[in-house]
Structure 1
């Protein structure tokens, strides 16, 4: 059963471009990981400081492995500097 992850982010004022750049930089290395089926950030057209990341993984093991990669550690550190509030992460499976 595939695992879908929806993560919501809000950039601090003036750091919206850094958020977008950080999330976009994760697309290619994440898609290259075994078990990653989809990885796409979206910007809220009504609120440029808000972004939503939609991911699809073959399962929780693949996602757990993602959390050990150098590109994940890098984006985690960048997000710690630029987010206005804690991110919200939802893990979803097909009912």
Structure 2
């Protein structure tokens, strides 16, 4: 069972380029982690200050380990300086087939 994560970010005014750069820097590093199946940031075409990251992990343990990596800790510090509101993280699992 994989775990899908949707994380929404809203940058402070004038910080959307910094947000995009920070999230793009996470792509390759995250995909290299064991347990990361997908990691892709998306920009809202109507509001460049709003971005969503869609991730897929092999399970909760892989995601928990992601949160301890140096690159995640770094981006967490950057986001703390540039987000207009706290990061909104949603965790989803596939619904069983009926």
Q: TM-score range by the shorter chain?
A: over 0.9
TM-score by length of 2: 0.96
Q: Which residue of 2 aligns with 1:85?
A: 85
The structure with the larger Rg is: 2
3-state DSSP of counterpart to 2:9: strand
* 1-structure distance, mates of 2:66, 2:86: 20
Moved over 3 A (4+): none
TM-score by length of 1: 0.99
Aligned residue-pair number:
95
RMSD: 0.4
Q: Which segments of 5 or more consecutive residues in structure 1 lack a partner in the other structure?
A: none
* 2-structure distance, mates of 1:8, 1:91: 12
* 2-structure distance, mates of 1:81, 1:72: 14
Q: Which residue of 1 aligns with 2:19?
A: 19
Q: Which segments of 5 or more consecutive residues in structure 2 lack a partner in the other structure?
A: none
